[in-house]
Structure 1
Amino acid sequence: MNKTISKLIAVVIACFIGFSGMSQDFNDLAPTPPMGWNSWNKFGCDVSEKLIMEMADAMVENGLLDAGYEYIVIDDCWQVGRDSLGNIVPDPERFPSGMKALGDYIHRKGLKFGIYSCAGSMTCQSRPGSRGYQFQDARTYASWGVDYLKYDWCYDEGQKAQAAYQTMSDALKASGRPIVFSICEWGESKPWEWGEGVGHLWRTTADIRDCYQCTFDWGGVGVLDIIDKQAELYQYAGPGHWNDPDMLEIGNGGMTRDEYITHFSMWAMMAAPLMAGNDLREMDQLTREILTNQDVIAVNQDKKGEQARKFMDMGEHEIWAKPLADGQVAVCFLNRTDQPWKLDYDWHKQTMYFVQDVSLRKYTYQVYDLWQHKVIGKTNERLEHQIPAHGVLMVTLSKVK
């Protein structure tokens, strides 16, 4: 009897250690904001095995993998039903080789495989959701080699968001495979207040639209509106847990060059996930230059993991600052207006009170323009620059030795 009890205790301890290890691994899966590509913004429901393979090929060939992008995420409409055992069934016409084979293809490219589901009984496009099948689906995703799950919030049927997402979080942790968990309930239940440890990123707003500033009755919002909604959430972002202002629209044609640069710059400043949403096979030179700007990406991927704060608000002109791990600071001057901003800035005039390692009065810093890729001055002299309408000036400050 004592021997049997000892064995049971040993099993319980082993299970606890295993679960604790998985929990620790889970919390370490997104030390910097995830970078990748998602099918929804450009293709909606028109997804297929062929398309996803071509996007994986293009991510490698166009330099996005080298720039840090790694996830290929299939959004809604890949699933059509469940079999007699309740297993989720991919569309056999659009994904004839099956999801395991597709995941293997993506992995052979040096990329990671992402997929979509929903906490409700159906997805937003009325495909089968995961409610009641969370643990079964998580095991299925693990068997396919899934590395990332975007989990939506349609047809929730009165569920409590925190509890629903915790259930899928537990299922992923028990699946035996480390899977990044993207909470997508549009910020309705303030997931930034409870999301850490449940998921790795959580949407903060309604769906993005390919416009600088616009609103829709059904909830879509533009870039500037999203920035405003995200501005005060900086305290909730950090390594392993990120505010998510939604995917990128760069390259989809709805904004100007300067607006797309603002879009990418501010997502980098806000430590947001960088999930491209364009057709990677047909990128023009401008789109490629924006999405692969290593200076801007470095700010986004900084290991300190702080979200930028707006430390000066002059109405239609704003100044944001993001402390970096190496004692530098990124600063972004945002021009919200339809007219150029003739900037004439005295670095000694304002104090970035939350940037502990930088003293503009005590030391001189070099000012490096992240879009021109060159030094444009020092902080012991005034900064004069013309910022275009709807544009930004994004710089880093590094101490002059």
Structure 2
Amino acid sequence: MRLALVLLSCCALGALALDNGQGLRPAMGFNTWNTFATNIDEELIKNTADLMIQLGLKDVGYNYVNLDDAWSAPARQGGRLVADPQRFPSGIRALSDYVHARGLKFGIYGDAGALTCAGYPGSRGFEKVDAQTWAEWGIDYLKYDNCWAPASDWVIDRYVAMRDALNATGRPILYSMCEWGVADPWTWAATVGNSWRATEVAEAQFEIVACMLPACDGKDIEANWESILKLLDYSHGLARYAKPGAWNDLDMLEVGVGKLTVGEQRTHFALWALLKSPLIIGADLRKISPDSLAILKAQEVIAVNQDPLGVAGDLIWQIGQSRIYAGPLAGGARAVVLLNLHHTGGQYLQSNITVHWRQIGLPAGAAAAVRDLYAERDLGTFTDSFSASVTAHDVRVLRITPLERSADLDSWRPWHQQPMLTPTDEAPPSFADLLPSGNAQLPGNRLPEEILAAQLGRRMGKGEGEQFTMVAEA
């Protein structure tokens, strides 16, 4: 289901627009979920903050240490969120102070529904009090999830409510929206959040809003090659919607997690960097291998992600199992990733891939210097094209810099040859506007009757017949 045709205008998404000065470049940091899930405590966070300094991750730009789901007590106290007293006996404010004292920033997790995905208190109806609580705790980053909301809610309204609540605190907090791409957030979220999960659209979007572990499994990134490619495929064509302060989020990094080969980890990291996704580490830093750590610290690849031009790369060419991704860099250079998708068990593990200058907006006959960003070495000067041998399930990551610069080189975009819907000045629809019209043909501007008939009016609970009461803030 796609609602893009009616969500192109952001001008009416509330009286306030996002103006928090955050996320001018994609966020870099650490999050607990990929490795630890709900098994978190304050010692883990302290150890991680210390290791980010000891391992040199802070020095290359990683500066957020983020708690994910299950940090809170099972119930509010006096209407407010409180930390789990056994696992976080010192409280969140003390933990925030510990992280800040090391020159790092501290992030937390919340949910736009009545419960978090793991069943802890959510912020639906409590947006103002929760935003103020997080501001008082010194929070710098909010990951805001999308579980346990009734289908009668309009997802944009819930995310706008927290945006406005965060703005009202006066504290600059990076707002990372995790609504799973279910309402095409790239078309409207730039005025709501600093980044938005753009990948992994659930098959039953209006049923999965009620998901709870383990029912939510399969929605997030996984530490395997198939998951990495699937999220890349979901991201095609989205580069045009990213800009400083507003980024497509392909989900957290699996570098150092699971059984990805070194080449697969290089691929994962390089493409997340090129597509300007936030670079959020999910590995256990106490056990990370030297190879995985080296990938996370690849400074010239990180520089692509943090490039001041702020333009995301995208897929520009594919034939068979060979792909080329590219994007512009400040000063007229191009970042290019050559990707070999051939099976690693095949007879031929190497493929020759050629990028032509005309594919990346460089003039015919131009001479350009080519540099390998993982190897951190210059490969020479080439005219009109460059070819390289690429191993299966691996990449070559290049910076191609024309020797003769011109001002118009910065204007090339990877989507220039792709059509784009033009935003209109129509206001985005309210949920009432989406009530069924009898037309089940999608894409369009109405939801099919069978979805609404099955979901409207239900209270989403742990069991089919269970109900819970949602109390709004007075």
Q: Normalising TM by the smaller chain, what interval?
A: 0.7 to 0.9
1:340 maps onto 2:353 in alignment = no
1:368 maps onto 2:361 in alignment = no
**Matches of residues 232-251 of structure 1 in structure 2 within 5 Å?**
232-251=237-256
| Separation in structure 2 between the aligned mates of residue 45 and residue 341 of structure 1, nearest angstrom | 41
| Separation in structure 1 between the aligned mates of residue 387 and residue 76 of structure 2, nearest angstrom | 65
How many angstroms does 1:376 deviate by? 1.5
How many angstroms does 1:346 deviate by? 6.3
Please, which of 351, 355, 358 is the counterpart of residue 359 of structure 2? 351
Aligned to 1:90: 83
SS of match in other structure, 1:210: coil
How many angstroms does 1:363 deviate by? 2.2
| Separation in structure 1 between the aligned mates of residue 353 and residue 185 of structure 2, nearest angstrom | 40
Structure 1 contact 347–379 (Cα < 8 Å) conserved:
no
1:380–1:151 Cα change, 3 Å: same
Aligned to 1:322: 327
Structure 1 contact 347–380 (Cα < 8 Å) conserved:
no
Q: Which amino acid aligns with 1:376?
A: L
Please, which of 255, 274, 297 is the counterpart of residue 292 of structure 1? 297
1:259 maps onto 2:264 in alignment = yes
How many angstroms does 1:378 deviate by? 2.3
Aligned to 1:279: 284
Aligned to 2:222: 209
1:121 maps onto 2:139 in alignment = no
Aligned to 1:75: 68
Structure 1 contact 212–223 (Cα < 8 Å) conserved:
yes
Structure 1 contact 230–245 (Cα < 8 Å) conserved:
yes
SS of match in other structure, 1:379: strand
| Separation in structure 1 between the aligned mates of residue 61 and residue 314 of structure 2, nearest angstrom | 24
SS of match in other structure, 1:232: coil
Question: Could you list the per-position Cα deviations for residues 256-295 of structure 1 after superposition, in whole angstroms to 9, with x for gaps in the alignment?
Answer: 0100000001001101100000011222210111000000
Question: Could you list the per-position Cα deviations for residues 186-243 of structure 1 after superposition, in whole angstroms to 9, with x for gaps in the alignment?
Answer: 1011111110120000001231000011xxxxxxxx0001001101111111100000
How many angstroms does 1:150 deviate by? 0.3
Aligned to 2:130: 137
| Separation in structure 2 between the aligned mates of residue 23 and residue 193 of structure 1, nearest angstrom | 15
Please, which of 149, 152, 157 is the counterpart of residue 163 of structure 1? 157
| Separation in structure 1 between the aligned mates of residue 355 and residue 125 of structure 2, nearest angstrom | 59
Aligned to 1:59: 52
Please, which of 185, 188, 193 is the counterpart of residue 191 of structure 1? 185
1:344–1:129 Cα change, 3 Å: closer
Normalising by structure 1, what TM-score? 0.88
Please, which of 285, 289, 309 is the counterpart of residue 314 of structure 2? 309
SS of match in other structure, 2:280: strand
Structure 1 contact 30–239 (Cα < 8 Å) conserved:
yes
Normalising by structure 2, what TM-score? 0.75
Runs of 5+ in structure 2 lacking a partner?
Answer: 1-14, 201-219, 405-474
Q: Which amino acid aligns with 1:347?
A: H
Q: Which amino acid aligns with 1:295?
A: E
Q: Greater helix percent: which structure? A: 1
1:138–1:45 Cα change, 3 Å: same
How many angstroms does 1:342 deviate by? 2.8
Which structure would you say has the larger RCO, counting Cα contacts within 8 Å and 6 or more residues apart? 2
Runs of 5+ in structure 1 lacking a partner?
Answer: 1-19, 214-221
Aligned to 1:400: 403
| Separation in structure 2 between the aligned mates of residue 344 and residue 227 of structure 1, nearest angstrom | 19
How many angstroms does 1:344 deviate by? 5.5
Please, which of 172, 175, 185 is the counterpart of residue 169 of structure 2? 175
| Separation in structure 2 between the aligned mates of residue 104 and residue 182 of structure 1, nearest angstrom | 21
SS of match in other structure, 2:388: strand
How many angstroms does 1:385 deviate by? 2.6
1:344–1:117 Cα change, 3 Å: closer
| Separation in structure 2 between the aligned mates of residue 81 and residue 174 of structure 1, nearest angstrom | 27
1:362–1:116 Cα change, 3 Å: same
Question: Could you list the per-position Cα deviations for residues 150-179 of structure 1 after superposition, in whole angstroms to 9, with x for gaps in the alignment?
Answer: 000010112211100000000000012100
Q: CA RMSD in A?
A: 1.7
How many angstroms does 1:326 deviate by? 1.7
Structure 1 contact 25–178 (Cα < 8 Å) conserved:
no
How many angstroms does 1:23 deviate by? 6.1
| Separation in structure 1 between the aligned mates of residue 318 and residue 122 of structure 2, nearest angstrom | 43
SS of match in other structure, 2:359: coil
Structure 1 contact 322–331 (Cα < 8 Å) conserved:
yes
